[in-house]
Amino acid sequence: MYGGTSVMIHTTSWPYANETGITKKLSCDVLVLGGGLAGCYAAIAAARRGQSVILVEKGAVERSGSAGTGFDHWESACTNPCSGVTPEEIAWAYVNEQDYYSNGIAHYIECREGYDRVLDMESFGGKIRDTKNEFEGAAFRDEKTKLMFAYDYKNKFTLRVWGSTFKPSLYKELKRLGVKLLEHTEATALLTSFVNGKKHGAGACAMDVHTCKFYILRAKSTVLAMSRPARVWLFDADQPGLCEFRPFQSIGSGHAMGWRSGIEFTMMEKSVRAEYSAAGRSFPAYGTGNNHNTWYAATMVDARGVEIPYVDRDGKELTSVLERYYPAPGQKFFLKGGVIDNPKYEYRGPETLDFDELIKRGYQLPFYANLSRMPDEERRVIWGMMVGEEGKTKIPILQNYTKRGFDPTKDMLQSYGTGWQSANFLEQERQFFGAPGGILHDWDLKTNIDGIYAAGDQLYASDCAGFACATGYYAGRKAAAAAKSCELPSYDPEETAREQARLYAPLFVKDGISWKELNQAIAKAMQNYCGGVRCEALLREGLDLLGSYERDIVPKLSCKNPHELMRIHEVLDILTVAQIVLHASLHRKSSSAPLFFTRSDYPKMDPQADHCHIALHQENGTVIERRVPLDFFGDLQTEYEKRNIDYEEEREANGYAKR
């Protein structure tokens, strides 16, 4: 029974209890929403500081999130004992590489503290070294520490890691520290109240996605770690599980609930043409012949078996495999990894598989990755360790291909499409990829609302696992410090009652519209009105159309069980995210190359006046704009050191590596 009406939420085959209408109230010092890498580290940092911590995770913490199935390289471990670079060098390189539309604060934290998190991971049971001596003597292995490096073998700041061991290790550590885990529970709304006349986070509402039990979670500090939006432009109702690169349940709820509460966002107008793992149209990520990221620097050949040479930054053809892993003469280091693709080579050759350029040079399609022409340890580290540890590759790629007879010492893998992405997309088919927009924050990773922090892929211009672990831990310790000097804020029971009614509404609709139909409709609307080329009239049409969905479709949504109810909640959040993107696109009245943003009514590219963050939040439905200089974070080292003296003491006490 809920509100006097009986609600049938399960059929006879639904295996969980019906707890619709049951409300559970819990409180804690620090509430963490999202139990991926960032959320787990945030919870660990707060628990280490003696705070009571609740972590809410929609899936099962042991394997949830982007890194649940693993990841193969840990970027920016600049303080590891073999590193030839400083945190300052790499953090500024990231900022410059993105033309300052980059998260200087978070990258600096990643570069400065990332290796500490690697050592934490090892202490929790994660595998970070070649302890079985499988790669003894390889150029990418340090014999003393047994650490293994990717990409730049001279400067050794990207580690090859056994990421599939990480989430189970974090899970064990959370349990050991006594963090209260609410698993299979979706966070749905933030609670806020006023403390000393200022808006302050007060916790969140959540719902058990098996039973529909409703939670009111009160907290002194809250950390948002629910990843980034997805399924905004691309959705395939027949192949939902293949819609996106990141896990299906991560669709930007954190952005949606943040927006509804007045949290400030930036760069939400940025999106890239879809790359891969989108709408079920591409081959499985890392399962085709390519030489990007996991597959760097695989030997590429054309249809005749002619090798496509790598060249260095200065265009010099490289004659040995080993040279691909070293900076050019006079180049200090080169960046490489998930987001960073260009800086080693200006010539866009086999590195990015620029087919047009290669065809002009006489190479014949199709192209293949040919690992058989690589030294044994380079071949084994790609096909074996990297393809195996990278998320979603262990079973679909390594295991399946091997079972079906693929032998990297003899066989080649074909490339598809015009790049490593293994599929071609239209200009209007877009994705949140490549350091997209997100929450704007200060040096404490605090949002514009006191008591609410953010970390990992929820931050603007986020990009990788090391970034998520380091910012998660940092946000957790700042949230813990703030919680120590704050009383438990009150909350408005009318607000939680409204949220409960919103969540349960589809349970009362019989034979209505499914979540899939609404997701498809949003994606189509965004392709039509907020695609590759945008303008005022189109964007306003888009907002009107989404407004009509809210009025006409949302009240008709219905579901058969709590799982489908959760899917509806996700699509409602996607609708909110789509609206944020439309607003952000309206507010930037110029075009921008770094943001992949084109307005036909404002074609001027990157005018000086708009070379800034256009930060937006909403209050009572009105969108408010604030302009923030792109270099608002100041000098990275100076600003960081001012605020983290206590952490230096912790480093000393824990015996982390000396800088």
Ligand X SMILES: Cc1cc2nc3c(=O)[nH]c(=O)nc-3n(C[C@H](O)[C@H](O)[C@H](O)COP(=O)(O)OP(=O)(O)OC[C@H]3O[C@@H](n4cnc5c(N)ncnc54)[C@H](O)[C@@H]3O)c2cc1C
Q: Which residues bind ligand X (CB under 6 A)?
A: 33-39, 56-59, 64-67, 71-73, 75, 186-187, 225-227, 245-246, 249-250, 253, 285, 338, 390-392, 456-457, 464-466, 468
Retrieve residue 136's tokens: 């003894």
Residue 637 carries which side chain, given as an amino acid letter? Q
Distance CA 498, CA 332 (A): 57
Residue 484 carries which side chain, given as an amino acid letter? K
Shortest Å distance, C-beta 24 to ligand X? 16
Nearer to ligand X, 72 or 312 (CB): 72
Shortest Å distance, C-beta 539 to ligand X? 27
Return the number of other C-beta atoms located less than 10 Å from residue 605's C-beta: 13
Nearer to ligand X, 114 or 289 (CB): 114
DSSP 226: -
Distance CA 403, CA 393 (A): 14
For residue 326, give Cα distances in angstroms to 89, 149, 301, 474.
Answer: 17, 12, 21, 32
Shortest Å distance, C-beta 57 to ligand X? 5
Shortest Å distance, C-beta 579 to ligand X? 18
Contact of 141 with 381, CB cutoff 8 Å: no
Contact of 595 with 589, CB cutoff 8 Å: no
Retrieve residue 105's tokens: 């604060």
Nearer to ligand X, 187 or 311 (CB): 187
Length of the chain: 659
Nearer to ligand X, 474 or 529 (CB): 474
Closest listed residue to residue 530, CA positions, set 515, 541, 520: 541
Shortest Å distance, C-beta 71 to ligand X? 3
Closest listed residue to residue 295, CA positions, set 358, 334, 343, 352: 352
Please, which residues have CB within 8 angstroms of residue 105's CB and are 6 or more apart in sequence? 441, 442, 443, 445, 633, 636, 639
Q: Please identify the residue of the shown chain whose CB is closest to the bound ligand X.
A: 36
Contact of 448 with 99, CB cutoff 8 Å: no
Contact of 34 with 187, CB cutoff 8 Å: yes
Three state DSSP letters for 411-426: CCEECCCCCCCCCCCC
Nearer to ligand X, 111 or 612 (CB): 111
Retrieve residue 522's tokens: 């949003």
Shortest Å distance, C-beta 231 to ligand X? 12
Shortest Å distance, C-beta 74 to ligand X? 6
Distance CA 33, CA 187 (A): 7
Shortest Å distance, C-beta 387 to ligand X? 11
Nearer to ligand X, 67 or 311 (CB): 67
**First vs last C-alpha separation in the chain:** 60
Only one residue has tokens 């930036």, namely 266
Nearer to ligand X, 500 or 592 (CB): 500
Nearer to ligand X, 224 or 543 (CB): 224
Burial track 414-447 (b if 16+ CB lie within 10 A, e otherwise): ebbbebbbbbebeebbbbbbbbbbbbbbebbbbb
Shortest Å distance, C-beta 228 to ligand X? 8
Shortest Å distance, C-beta 608 to ligand X? 32
Nearer to ligand X, 67 or 452 (CB): 67
Shortest Å distance, C-beta 375 to ligand X? 22
Nearer to ligand X, 369 or 435 (CB): 435
Retrieve residue 155's tokens: 């400067």
Nearer to ligand X, 62 or 610 (CB): 62
